[in-house]
Amino acid sequence: MLRRHELGALILRLVLGFTFFLHGLDKFTGGIDQTVAHFDSLGIPGFLGYVVALIELIGGIAMIAGIGTRAVAVLFAFIMVGAILIAKLPEGFLGGYELDVVLLAMSVYFIIANRSILAIDNIFFDK
């Protein structure tokens, strides 16, 4: 039987995965060169733009499916901490990094939470 907290975790996982997937997709369809240039302008090696975009795209799909949820959440958390500290902090919370904090909190939840019964991870791993 599906418990309410498991349904809540499913909703969080789907929203987190979908949000990162769309951000990764946007980086590629909107011109990955712009992302690379933006990373360079922040003093970050441009090739990391490709790395972040791939993590967001592939990790988003994995998160939605519940594959490697904890590992993907760790990667998402690193991306969000980097985005907050390097790119968004000077903009302030409102209109700046508030979404990043929410995505970071959701990622941390999946780092520390037990696996959901509605994840593919449960086919391969015991709780």
Spatial separation of the C-alpha atoms in residues 68 and 44, rounded to whole Å: 27
Q: What is the pLDDT of residue 6?
A: 86
* pLDDT value of residue 126: 61
The Cα 104–Cα 19 span in angstroms is 12
Domain count for the chain, please give it.
Answer: 1
Q: Which domain holds residue 8?
A: 4-124
Q: What is the pLDDT of residue 127?
A: 53
Q: What is the pLDDT of residue 79?
A: 97
**What whole-number distance in Å separates Cα of residue 104 and Cα of residue 35?**
21
DSSP 95-126: IIIHHHHHHHHHHHHHHHSPPPTTSTHHHHS-
> What confidence tens digit (pLDDT) does each residue in 63-87 have?
999 999 999 999 999 999 999 999 9
